[in-house]
Amino acid sequence: MSRLADILRRLVDCNGPLDVGQFMALCAAHRGAGYYHRRETIGLAGDFVTAPEISQTFGELLGLALAAFWQETHPGRAIALVELGPGRGTLMADLWRATAHVPGFHRAVRGIHLVEISSSLRQLQQRTLRGLPLVFHEDLAELPRDLPLYLVANEFLDSLPMRQFVRTPRGLQERRVAADEAGRLVFVLDPRPLPLSALGELELPAAEDGAVLEIAPAREALVADLAARLAAQGGLAYLVDYGFARPQWADTLQAVARHRRVDPLAMPGEADLSSHVDFAALLRATRGTGTRRFGPVDQGVFLRRLGIETRLAILSARAGPEQAAELEAGVRRLVDPGAMGALFKVLAVSGPDGAVPPGFDGGEEAA
């Protein structure tokens, strides 16, 4: 049993079962034994790979999209360039390289602001981005308040805590994490039910008893806070993650270790925990903030609009046959609906004075 499992078991013994959100938060960020305070987690030597590790075109196109928006909305104005959960720094490295020839863009950047809680990942980011004006932050609240924010977040929101509720004949009962007589972590249901009317006006499909509903207050609060900052300061945020465009009944909690799915309760602090993002909930959370919101659109559609096929052709023309095949495979993985192209989605949030963000059209602006 992992060290964190012992800590969680003692916590449950003292205070009772944890909700799933509390469990996820402790697994991710516990200062002594949490997942993001340990060894390298991303890449072939880690537990999972993300889009920037699959193809350099991903970060390049996001960077050029931000730069194009800056040229139209804030030409010549100083900005803060931000990434939430920057992993190994690969996305930002590709973004920075791709924007080097955009007139004035690099001069406008007053710091590359990385929101990262992991000390080991910060060390990796410093090596990857050596020589760049890095500023590290623990959370969004520390970002500059006097500059437009130009922000990317790829596979960041899925790792934020969420809570699970199970539909039962008694109503909605929250799923919690307890310990059995042998000390193993197990799921239990809170005996105190909530009426189905607690869902309010949430438009959900019909569901049988046993269906699971996930609600992520921490995720929605963070995006609402970001929207408030963009409304006041201006700028643009691209939020990229896997999930669904409309509310669903679904148990999407997953744990990944060494590129394999494992039981979410089996390896606390040693496996990456995540869940699907409800983009409709994010739109509700940002309604009335004064921002412009676009999407979500499928990642494949978004990247094709930004010109990923053209970028692939340019890179392939300079590559040998083997490298060209690898480039092709990486791009196909990002855009094909059967791979990441449809599961992953992109939401854009901009200040009130912003243009339509690259990758979207005006008809995709949310009301």
Predicted local confidence at residue 4, as pLDDT: 86
Q: pLDDT value at position 39?
A: 59
Provide the CATH number for the domain around residue 293: 3.40.50.150
- Asked whether residue 38 carries a pLDDT value surpassing 80, the answer given is no
The total number of structural domains that make up the chain: 1
pLDDT of amino acid 40 = 61
* Percent of the chain's residues with pLDDT above 90: 80
pLDDT computed for residue 269 by the predictor: 83
> What mean pLDDT is reported for the chain?
93
Residue 37 banded pLDDT, cuts 50, 70, 90: low
Q: Looking at residues 191-206, what average pLDDT do you find?
A: 86
Span of 44-48, 85-89, 118-122, 217-221 with lowest mean pLDDT = 44-48
Residue 281 lies in a domain: yes
pTM of the model: 0.94
- Indicate whether 179 belongs to any domain: no
Is residue 301 situated within a structural domain? yes
Residue 114 lies in a domain: yes
Domain residues for the domain of 292 are 36-158+217-246+275-353
pLDDT tens column, 261-294 = 899 998 888 888 999 999 999 999 999 999 999 9
300 lies in a domain?
A: yes
pLDDT, greater one: 272 or 229: 229
pLDDT of residue 84: 98
- In-domain check, residue 150: yes
Assigned domain for 238 exists = yes
Which has the higher per-residue pLDDT, 203 or 95? 95
Residue 16 maps to a domain = no
Greater confidence (38 vs 27) lies with 27
pLDDT in tens, 144-171: 999 999 999 999 999 999 999 999 999 9
Percent of the chain with pLDDT over 70: 96
pLDDT classification of 120: cutoffs 50, 70, 90:
confident
What's the whole-number mean pLDDT along residues 341-350?
A: 98
**pLDDT for position 306:** 98
Average pLDDT (248-273) is 89
- Residue 253: band (very low, low, confident or very high) from pLDDT cuts 50, 70, 90: very high
Most confident of 6-10, 34-38, 251-255: 251-255
Mean pLDDT, to the nearest integer, of 127-151? 97
Return the pLDDT at 142: 97
pLDDT band at 258 (very low <50, low <70, confident <90, very high): confident
Q: List the one residue out of 140, 116, 136, 142 whose CA is nearest residue 37.
A: 116
